Amino acid sequence: MTSPTATLLISCPDQRGLVAKFANFIYSNGGNIIHADQHTDFAAGLFLTRIEWQLTGFNLPRELIAPAFNAIAQPLQAQWELHFSDTVPRIAIWVSQQDHCLLDLIWRNRAKEFTAEIPLIISNHPHLREMAEQFGIDYHYLPITKENKIEQESKQLELLQQYKIDLVVLAKYMQILSADFITKFPQIINIHHSFLPAFVGANPYHKAFERGVKIIGATAHYVTSDLDAGPIIEQDVVRVSHRDEVEDLIRKGKDLERVVLARAVRLHLQNRVLVYRNRTVVFE
C-alpha cells in the first residue's frame, strides 16, 4: 500500500446514481479504489462520501484530477476536497503550560502514527521552550493580555503564513481565539477537557468534581467562533469515583486528552473527517 493515493471528500444533495458516477470517474481513468464509504443524512437530504484510490496506474495526471472531477461535481451541486497522501501537512502546535499533549503529538509523529511536519510551536508561556528545542522545533513565546490580544493574533497569523502551516492544533492552549482569527485561519483542532457539552468554559474538572459525576471525558473538536460548540471529531471517557480528588480528575483527564486529541489529529490528517452543519462524519 505504499503507492500514493488520492482522496475525495464529497457532500452533495442526495440523488440516484451518485455512487456509480463517482466510482466510474475513478474506474474509467484506471484507478483502483482502496477505500469507499458513504453516508446519507436523510433529514438534510445530503449524500456524503469519501473515496480513496491508488495513483499508480491512474491515467489522469495529478493537476488534471480536480478540473476533471469538477465537471462531474458541478451539475450535482457537490462540495468537495481533493487530497494526495504524499503531501505532508504542516502542523503548528499551540500550548500554554502543560506539556502532555505536546509531547504526545511529537512522539506519535516520530513513531509515524501520522504523517506530518511540526515546525512550529506557539505558546503564551515560556515554560515549554526547552522541550521544543530538545526536538528541534521553533518556539515562539507570545504572551496574551486583554490589551495585546489583537496585536498578538496578527503576529500568530504571520507565523502561520511564514511556516506554511496547514493545521493548528490547540494542545491545551488556554486562551480563546477571536472570531476574526478563526475566520482567517479556520483549520484548528482543539482538545477540551470535558465530555462536551457538559462543562463548557473554564475549569471543567473542578466543575465535574463539584457535580459529583461518575465519569469524566475529553472532546476534540474543530474550533468555531462559538466557544466549545464546534463540530466534535472524537470523544472518550474514563470512570471516576468519590475517591478522586480534583487533582486525580486532572491526572486521569490528561490520559484522555492526549489520546482523544491524537486520534482526532490522525483522522483529520488522513482526510477521514467531513464537516457539515456543525457535525462531522468520520469515515473510519
Of the residues 228, 244, 248, 255, only one is catalytic, namely: 228
The only residue of 6, 92, 171, 196 in contact with a copy of itself, by rule CB under 8 A: 196
- Verify binding: residue 155, a copy of itself, rule CB under 8 A: no
Backbone angles phi, psi at 247, to 5 degrees: -65, -30
Given the complex with a copy of itself, which of 144 and 216 has the nearer CB atom? 216
N-term to C-term CA, the chain: 17
Which of residues 75 and 147 has its CB atom nearest to a copy of itself in the complex? 75
* Residue 253 is a binding residue for a copy of itself (CB under 8 A): no
Beta bridge partners of 122: 94, 140
Rule CB under 8 A: is residue 213 a binding residue for a copy of itself?
yes
Residue 68: CB partners within 8 Å, gap ≥ 6?
25, 29, 60
Tell me how far apart the alpha carbons of residues 238 and 256 are, in angstroms, rounded to a whole number.
Answer: 8
Q: Is the Cα torsion angle 170, 216, 258, 220 positive or negative in sign? A: negative
Q: Which of 76, 113, 141, 166 binds a copy of itself (CB under 8 A)?
A: 113
- Which of 4, 30, 126, 186 lies at the binding interface for a copy of itself (CB under 8 A)? 30
Q: Is 226 a catalytic residue?
A: no
Is 164 a residue that touches a copy of itself (CB under 8 A)? no
Strand spans (E) along 66-166: 79-84, 90-95, 117-123, 138-141
How many Å apart are CA 50 and CA 32, to the nearest integer? 14
CB-CB contact of 30 with 59 (8 Å): yes
Dist. CA 249–CA 52, nearest whole Å: 40
The answer to whether residues 29 and 60 touch, using CB atoms and an 8 Å cutoff, is yes
HSE, CB side, 13 Å, CA atoms: give it for residue 241: 1
Backbone angles phi, psi at 188, to 5 degrees: -135, 130
Convert residues 82-111 into a mask of x (bound to a copy of itself by CB under 8 A) and - (unbound): -----------------xx--x---x---x
For a copy of itself, which is the closer residue by CB, 182 or 264? 264
Residues 41-70 that bind a copy of itself (CB under 8 A): 42
Determine, following the binding rule CB under 8 A, whether residue 206 of this chain makes contact with a copy of itself: no
Question: Which stretch, 80-88, 138-146, 183-191, 210-218, contacts a copy of itself (CB under 8 A)?
Answer: 210-218
**How near is the Cβ of 105 to a copy of itself at its closest, in Å?**
13
Q: Which residues pair with 11 in a beta bridge?
A: 48, 79
Residue with Cβ nearer a copy of itself (35 or 164):
35
Instruction: Name the site residues for a copy of itself (rule: CB under 8 A).
Output: 1, 16-21, 23-24, 26-28, 30-40, 42, 99-100, 103, 107, 111, 113, 134, 195-199, 211-215, 217, 231-237, 239, 241-243, 245, 251, 254-255, 259, 278-282, 284
Task: Catalogue the active-site residues.
Answer: 228
